[in-house]
Structure 1
């Protein structure tokens, strides 16, 4: 398995790669489970007599709990100086709540279980990315963190619907939830045996030099850091783009553009693959170009996703290619969510900072915007949510110009080109 210690920097079996893979699968399975109720609703809705409003409430409650929990438990992991001691129990918990979702028999039971699911899943991204940034080499930091977050596209949005709908069709929606919970149990044991907290790997001299725990008196530093406020604003706007677009794109394709269900599935699957590809390619580019220019570029590319969908009515192949390419906007998410906040502060703040950015984005983009976009669609037509999404990405691109660059390659370049003063 992956080694911990003084392994060769070029060896694939070094801990840096091991922690990236562990967090990739952990977050990917978490996101698959988060979306499982959406994929399984066509099966459980008629059985339990749920309507669309009740589905929306289930999704919103999970989003609210997810956002608040991520900030709270991310902060706790910073204060105790341990990622593993928080990640292990919540990984076990979200598997348990997935199994319980499969035995729910009423709306109240399902709503309560999914709320607890949000509490258990919300901290995974802040803690996972804090673990990755602590063990990443500078030249691969953006790629590593982007690769972890891209798992939501490959596992959550591509593999998840294929597996869960197949299981629900062949067996039952109950079995779908049971299947969704099994990977979390597997990852619990993988993390138990192979994950190492960075402070456990440091010598006494390193621990004395690098404070690894967040102290109460340090807490205001987070709110005095300009990049944190800027990334919170970008998170709210880019999650406006994400949720307004992804919530209404399938309905737009079927009801407005008159594609069949399978055709719509092919187009959205291409978007899912684009989410995976650009989710790590964008941060990789930022390792070479810098975080700010990459975030500006891909924010404006994100505008094209809803605009092209609203204006172009091509074949399934054409729309699939457009969907794959314009989902390049997903490259922004690892950057504003984890990379820039993580590089703007010392490692002991990362869980709190990422949890804070996630909370603001989820509360505005994930909770409020779908309802606002739905009202706009009812009054102005199904194109209205697409224009709301485009506006969110466009404003985000302009705000990104105000970021302070954090990429090591750009900061080194700036230091090297600063003229020295002669005495």
Structure 2
């Protein structure tokens, strides 16, 4: 290895982290933008709360299945770059098609296509980061990439799409959202290398995994517990983000423009926590972070449900309580990456996404929408709080995977360093 090789590796590490940050971020911007546009779309398309929930659920169903199928294929074929660039182009097309929806049926079709295209992006992006991250930066890199969900999906998206909807029409928001995906796909085609999941990441030596080894993706208890945690988190995320804007407009009588500021403040808090919590989990351990902040995240929807204050006060509270997006990369990407063999990291992450999306992302929004229609508009927010409380409870069963924490424990006990498989 020449002296310049590590420097080249670090430069590519920085490139892939930044590229996946924007890839991941634009996917979540596409996905979450519709929740901020429902106050504009619902009257025109005559959508009930139940139909709003269904339009979120159909995306989650398609997202879950496609994430598992294409992530598994990408592991077995060792061809993540090809899958990633193709599906980015497809989800850009799906975003554009959402703007063409004139009926609830067409909207469901467009959102289903978007879910099928976007599902594998999350796992493939994080697999690329894992392959080209040094161990000391692994947790921070993966947290930084996933923090784009908050910055682009929860800060930029509500401000941008609501402004476009108010000045032009909600349809133009979806048309414009298609452009960043096309640009990202072209950049990845030109500069991205195929991630190396077995072999040397520095020298890019590829070894394809065997189909008979696929079962290793299911072999660690953290993956099974991660599936349950994912149900709670997805339930929190989609019950909260889907119905909070409509709740604040209809119940608290806050204008859509001011609601977008509240949600953006929460998004900014999520971005900061998304950087801080993975970094802290490197040093304090993954498990303590999941337990502590799983409980704290339960407060955010309760505050919005019960504190009927001005938009400014709610924005401040939302900023400080937006911790769930901070623990998300810990259970969804970092823990599985450190729990299973590297060759099947994308599959392991997709299993966690699959179960979370099918139950937390599909059933919860539909049930929450029905309860909002027939029981109380505050019901979805209490369901969101229950979701993160489930995260808190299940996290007690996780097995610690942080290399730094394990090394300290081993040294304290006078044992050899025993690190996780991944």
**TM-score for both structures, normalised by structure 2:** 0.89
Residue 330 of structure 1 corresponds to 325
Residue 15 of structure 1 corresponds to 12
Corresponding position: 1:145 with 2:132: no
Residue 191 of structure 2 corresponds to 194
Q: Distance in 2 between matches of 1:311 and 1:10?
A: 53
Residue 413 of structure 1 corresponds to 408
Q: Distance in 1 between matches of 2:415 and 2:338?
A: 26
Which of the numbers 341, 347, 360 marks the counterpart of 1:346? 341
SS in 2 for 1:136: coil
Q: Distance in 2 between matches of 1:205 and 1:301?
A: 40
Residue 285 of structure 1 corresponds to 280
Count of residues in correspondence between the two structures: 415
Deviations along 1:312-366, one digit per CA (max 9) or x if unpaired, are 3344333222111111122111111111011101211111011110111111111
Counterparts in 2 of 1:10-409, with a 5 A limit?
14-43=11-40, 53-199=50-196, 212-378=207-373, 380-409=375-404
Instruction: Kindly state the Cα deviation for residue 47 of structure 1 after the two structures are TM-superposed.
Output: 5.2
Q: Distance in 2 between matches of 1:91 and 1:37?
A: 18
Distance 1:406 1:69, change over 3 A: same
Q: Distance in 1 between matches of 2:379 and 2:48?
A: 24
Q: Which moved more, 1:301-310 or 1:323-332?
A: 301-310
SS in 1 for 2:298: helix
Q: Which moved more, 1:388-397 or 1:403-412?
A: 388-397
Q: Distance in 2 between matches of 1:204 and 1:273?
A: 34
Distance 1:408 1:89, change over 3 A: same
Deviations along 1:394-421, one digit per CA (max 9) or x if unpaired, are 2321211111111110121122223369
Distance 1:161 1:315, change over 3 A: closer
Residue 420 of structure 2 corresponds to none
What runs of 5+ residues in structure 1 fail to find an aligned partner?
none
Q: Distance in 2 between matches of 1:205 and 1:148?
A: 21
CA contact (8 A) 1:7 1:14 kept: no
**TM-score for both structures, normalised by structure 1:** 0.89
Q: Distance in 1 between matches of 2:201 and 2:140?
A: 30
Q: Distance in 1 between matches of 2:36 and 2:235?
A: 22
Distance 1:201 1:330, change over 3 A: closer
Distance 1:78 1:268, change over 3 A: same
Q: Distance in 2 between matches of 1:321 and 1:93?
A: 37
Q: Distance in 2 between matches of 1:268 and 1:106?
A: 27
Q: Distance in 2 between matches of 1:412 and 1:248?
A: 44
CA contact (8 A) 2:294 2:388 kept: yes
Distance 1:204 1:266, change over 3 A: closer
Q: Distance in 2 between matches of 1:212 and 1:152?
A: 32
Question: What is the RMSD computed on CA atoms of the aligned residues?
Answer: 2.8
Instruction: Kindly state the Cα deviation for residue 202 of structure 1 after the two structures are TM-superposed.
Output: 5.8
SS in 1 for 2:390: helix
Deviations along 1:248-288, one digit per CA (max 9) or x if unpaired, are 32333344444444333322221111121112211111111
Distance 1:357 1:16, change over 3 A: same
